[in-house]
Structure 1
Amino acid sequence: MTIYAQILAGGKGTRMGNTAMPKQFLPLGNKPILIQTVEKFTLEDRFKAILVVCPADWLTHTKDLIRKYVTDPRVVVITGGSERNDTLMNGIAYIEKTFGLKDEDAVVTHDAVRLFITKRIIDDNITAVQKYAAVDTVVPAIDTIVRGKDNAIEEIPIREYMYQGQTPQSFNIKKLKAAFGQLTEAQKAILSDSCKICLLAGEEVHMVRGEVSNIKITTPYDLKIARAIVEKRVTI
């Protein structure tokens, strides 16, 4: 079984507001957010390659950052797609073209802006994806989840069954490819989560435990929280 990592850095960061660059390239402490995330994955020897998939307009910038901060030869920078799942599939296409694919090969995918990922979470994903076609990292929902439409509540699900999705999300590559190929264009247009690709194809998606600290930096408030965490670690 060959295992790959894919760092999804294709976002434009529109919810971050007026910034000079996409959020994954913003500095945090003494390094860009993306670099701190990539470094966590270079600590895992079981990855054959670590793909960083970025916007085409930022390809040169991303390569320059990797060259400056990362010495691991497994790290490769490639261009992403227009949407998250297009970016994911671009990475899969690169893996297949460069290394070939065996039936059991797997990929561990992660948001570039979740820099507080832990070794335990990565280990749990690798262990689970050896058994299941798809794996999602989750934490139990703390707040009550409300489903609504047009400013009206339609359902309040039982909270003990509700979880908040994080990343990594890990997949058997061939099964993910097959599932994505079965989607209609209408399904692809509204697909906001990669694990749903496998759910729609009838594959079981296994859950592994995330961490509350495994936050995704999406808004200016998230960036403030991340800075506070980094600053506290530096002073300890």
Structure 2
Amino acid sequence: MKTAAIVVAGGRGDRMKASIPKQFMLLQQREIFVRSVEIFHGSDLIDKVVLVMHPDWMEVAGRILNKYGIDSVNIIPGGETRQESVYRGLCSIENEGFETVLIHDAARPLFSAFQIPDLLKMVENRLGVVVVEPLSDTVYITDSGSVVEIPDRTKLRAAETPQVFRYQDIFAAHRKAIGENLTSFTDDASLLLNYAGKIITLDSITRNIKITGPQDLEIAELLLKAKQK
């Protein structure tokens, strides 16, 4: 099964309030996006890694990867939205015969590569697999500040990445969305569901947090240190 991984790092990371995009910030002396790339680059099950990067930072990203001896990653320019960036990543491998694709946010560098085999075993035609985490907090559904419903949290999961699909399924869904001018999907699983696909989940074995602000970076540092003990 020929498999590609698309790592999306096209944002500017404005919420981090730093002089560089958040994916270039260091997490225990290694850039966040490098840690995410290494998850897949180091796997025998991944045949190709595509890094979707903001156009202004592609050259810098290439130099950094070369510094670490990672010279087989394709770096392509991202779009205005995450959806567009993923689509560009999918287009870049359109004619290379990939059967399966993992789509991952570079801002989640703590995902465990040990789960890649399980994800690939679970994916089927029209069936995507999403890494999730159970919610420990009670969740309110509100309207104008008032609580209108309290869903059963045992049935709730926080969607994360990677999200894994048959390449032709997710590529076709992206093309349909563009044709219908639907451009606001925030993840690929919801996009596939919109076109009659099905999604199943796999609980993450790590705290697979998304780094969006300074506090998240501090938490990630602590999680990495605990993992290394």
Does the 8 A contact of 1:139 with 1:212 survive in 2? no
User: Which residue does 2:77 correspond to in 1?
Assistant: 79
Q: Normalised by the size of structure 1, how large is the TM-score? A: 0.89
Task: Return the offset for 1:6.
Answer: 0.8
Q: Normalised by the size of structure 2, how large is the TM-score? A: 0.91
User: Which residue does 1:89 correspond to in 2?
Assistant: 87
Q: Structure 2: which 5+ residue stretches go unaligned?
A: none
Does the 8 A contact of 2:128 with 2:164 survive in 1? yes
User: Which residue does 1:40 correspond to in 2?
Assistant: 39
Aligned residue for 2:92, secondary structure, equals helix
Q: Which moved more, 1:211-220 or 1:53-62?
A: 211-220
CA distance in 1, matches of 2:32, 2:19: 14
User: Which residue does 1:125 correspond to in 2?
Assistant: 119
Identity of aligned residues (%): 30
Does the 8 A contact of 1:122 with 1:168 survive in 2? no
CA distance in 2, matches of 1:232, 1:144: 27
User: Which residue does 1:188 correspond to in 2?
Assistant: 183
Kindly tell me: are residues 139 and 232 of structure 1, through their superposed partners in 2, closer, same or farther at Cα, counting changes over 3 Å? closer
- The alignment of Structure 1 onto Structure 2 pairs a total of residues equal to 227
CA distance in 2, matches of 1:19, 1:154: 38
Aligned with 1:106 (options 80, 90, 100)? 100
Q: Structure 1: which 5+ residue stretches go unaligned?
A: none
Amino acid at match of 2:27: L
Kindly tell me: are residues 223 and 69 of structure 1, through their superposed partners in 2, closer, same or farther at Cα, counting changes over 3 Å? same
Does the 8 A contact of 2:139 with 2:153 survive in 1? yes
For the pair 1:205 / 2:205, whether they are aligned, the reply is: no
Does the 8 A contact of 2:125 with 2:166 survive in 1? no
Q: RMSD in angstroms over aligned alpha carbons? A: 1.8
User: Which residue does 2:223 correspond to in 1?
Assistant: 229
Amino acid at match of 2:65: I
CA distance in 2, matches of 1:133, 1:164: 19
CA distance in 1, matches of 2:44, 2:123: 16
